């Protein structure tokens, strides 16, 4: 049985590790967060994910029992058994758009301290294009005393999966891979072909890094189009969904659906990764505009709610606002850069009284969380469907909606449409 290490067991790393286990690997999962590590050792997943109707917890428990998944915070333990490290540790972006390299730097130093001749490092997070050659490889060489491309191999193949469908997409999606040398690239191809039935597209290292960022920036621009179009449709008193449906009858047009914002770790950060990789960020005015449009969606939605309440003789000041779902998108319990969370904060700063319900988010993660949908919806004058979670499907929505107070409804995906009279 081939053994590998997956470094970083977050919303992407944990499903990736279990996906490798399902393909017959023994995986040493490295996680430095002691609370997460304790959960994993007890067979409890903090990632909301299922595959073929089976929750991630069940896969986790199976591979713990079979000893094909070994969660640990000790890189030395993994190094004794593996020659391959798959790194998923990300590069967060600060509130000012600056890179936070600390976590990935630390991972490189830890791997470098145990690196052996012949070892292979496959990097999978979204990175600033060029940072692998200019920042990460030099760190590995300095700590290990070895030479990249000669003594050890380095390649990049960004993950492209959607949270909630990660295990399915890890084994089916195409992947773009590029290595420091042809031998590095070949190691990446050999490993990835054991994981996915999709095609592994080979390119150079810099193009592979840039391609991932461009994928996400392209999504950001497309989402900005629909977020601006929503306001245009309102100005024309046109139903945005009918407009989308009619426009999309053209075979070369594919407008996306509106939402309460653009969130998660990938798309909102993509522009900043790209900006950090060039000397002249002003060469990208379109991407900059798209990011500002999407960042402003929560502010715009709150303004719309205030206007609607005022039109009915009510005020947003002190108004009960109910938010259903706090994940960064439907079906996700990831609250990093979550639009519903941002929306809640804007409502609060505008004087509203916010109550949010999400059974997939740990209790007390946010001060405005409540314990039940009944408490959330009671007397609500504004009702927001932020992220539609699987447990919502079983709720008695007609009875629950009777608890509201003639609310202004923000439901971009029309999740409640069938329950509204």
CA distances from 60 to 16, 27, 53 (A): 11, 11, 14
Would the pLDDT of 421 be above 80?
no
Residues 93 and 100: beta-carbon distance below 8 Å: yes
Backbone angles phi, psi at 150, to 5 degrees: -115, -55
Q: What is the mean pLDDT of residues 104-118?
A: 97
**Rounded (5°) CA angle 31-35-40:** 65
**Whole-number pLDDT of residue 419:** 82
**Whole-number pLDDT of residue 176:** 98
Model confidence pLDDT, tens digit, residues 44-89: 999 988 899 999 999 999 999 999 999 999 999 999 999 999 999 9
Structure tokens at 319: 């108004």
d(CA 44, CA 59): 10
d(CA 402, CA 398): 7
**Which residues face 22 on adjacent strands?**
none
Would the pLDDT of 332 be above 70?
yes
Model confidence pLDDT, tens digit, residues 124-136: 999 999 999 999 9
**Whole-number pLDDT of residue 420:** 76
Residues 381 and 320: beta-carbon distance below 8 Å: yes
d(CA 332, CA 344): 17
Secondary element (H or E) of residue 55? strand 54-55
**Which residues face 225 on adjacent strands?**
none
Q: Tell me if residue 307 falls in helix, strand or coil.
A: helix
Q: What is the mean pLDDT of residues 282-293?
A: 94
CA distances from 123 to 12, 104, 112, 159, 288 (A): 13, 10, 14, 9, 27
In 116-248, where does DSSP find H-type helix? Answer: 131, 137-144, 166-170, 182-192, 205-235, 240-247
Q: What is the mean pLDDT of residues 392-420?
A: 92
One DSSP character per residue, 196-222 reads -SS-EEEEEHHHHHHHHHHHHHHHHHH
d(CA 141, CA 148): 7
**Whole-number pLDDT of residue 357:** 98
Q: What is the mean pLDDT of residues 346-372?
A: 96
CA distances from 107 to 34, 58, 74, 102 (A): 16, 28, 12, 9
Backbone angles phi, psi at 354, to 5 degrees: -95, 135
Q: Tell me if residue 324 falls in helix, strand or coil.
A: strand
Q: Tell me if residue 40 falls in helix, strand or coil.
A: helix
Helical axes 285-295 vs 205-235, angle rounded to 10°: 50
Residues 350 and 306: beta-carbon distance below 8 Å: yes
**Which residues face 84 on adjacent strands?**
120
d(CA 265, CA 395): 29
CB 282: neighbour CB atoms within 10 A?
A: 8
Structure tokens at 373: 């949908």
Q: Give the max Cα distance, the chain.
A: 73
Smallest Cα–Cα separation from 383: which of 317, 320, 318, 297?
320
Q: Tell me if residue 10 falls in helix, strand or coil.
A: coil
Backbone angles phi, psi at 348, to 5 degrees: -65, -45
Could you give all domains of the chain from N- to C-terminal order, each with its CATH number?
Answer: 3-204 (3.40.50.720), 212-294 (1.10.1040.10), 297-419 (3.40.50.720)
Q: How many helices (H) and strands (E) does the chain have?
A: 17, 14
């Amino acid at each position: 049985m081939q053994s590998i290490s997956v470094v970083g067991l977050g919303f992407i790393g944990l499903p990736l590790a279990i996906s490798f286990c399902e393909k017959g690997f023994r995986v040493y999962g490295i996680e430095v967060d002691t609370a997460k590590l304790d959960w994993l050792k007890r067979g409890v997943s903090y990632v909301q994910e299922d595959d073929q109707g089976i929750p991630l917890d069940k896969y986790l428990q199976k591979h713990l029992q079979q000893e094909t998944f070994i969660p640990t915070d000790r890189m030395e333990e993994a190094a004794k058994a593996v020659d391959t490290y798959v790194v998923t540790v990300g590069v967060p972006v600060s509130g000012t758009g600056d890179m936070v390299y600390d976590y990935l730097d630390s991972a490189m130093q830890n791997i470098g301290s145990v690196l052996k001749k012949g070892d292979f490092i496959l990097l999978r997070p979204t990175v600033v294009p060029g940072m692998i050659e200019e920042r990460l490889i030099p760190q590995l060489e300095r700590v290990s005393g070895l030479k990249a491309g000669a003594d050890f191999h380095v390649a990049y193949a960004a993950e492209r999966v959607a949270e909630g469908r990660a295990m399915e997409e890890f084994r089916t999606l195409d992947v773009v891979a590029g290595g420091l040398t042809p031998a590095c690239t070949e190691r990446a191809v050999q490993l990835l072909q054991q994981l996915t039935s999709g095609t592994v597209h080979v390119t150079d290292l810099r193009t592979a890094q840039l391609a991932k960022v461009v994928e996400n920036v392209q999504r950001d621009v497309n989402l900005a189009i629909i977020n601006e179009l929503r306001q245009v449709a309102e100005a024309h008193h046109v139903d945005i969904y009918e407009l989308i449906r009619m426009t999309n009858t053209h075979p070369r047009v594919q407008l996306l659906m509106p939402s309460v914002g653009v969130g998660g770790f990938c798309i909102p950060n993509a522009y900043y990764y790209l900006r950090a990789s060039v000397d002249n960020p002003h060469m990208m005015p379109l991407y900059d505009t798209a990011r500002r449009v999407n960042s402003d969606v929560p502010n715009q939605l709150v303004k719309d709610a205030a206007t609607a309440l005022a039109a009915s003789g009510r005020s947003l000041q002190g108004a009960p606002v109910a938010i259903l779902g706090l994940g960064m998108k439907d079906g996700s319990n990831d609250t990093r850069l979550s639009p519903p969370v941002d929306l809640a904060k804007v409502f609060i700063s505008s004087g509203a009284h916010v109550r949010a319900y999400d059974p997939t988010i740990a209790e007390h993660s946010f001060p405005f969380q409540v314990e039940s949908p009944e408490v959330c919806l009671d007397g609500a004058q504004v009702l927001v469907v932020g992220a539609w979670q699987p447990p919502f499907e079983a709720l008695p929505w007609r009875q629950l909606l009777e608890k509201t107070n003639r609310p202004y409804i923000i439901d971009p995906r029309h999740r409640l449409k069938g329950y509204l009279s």
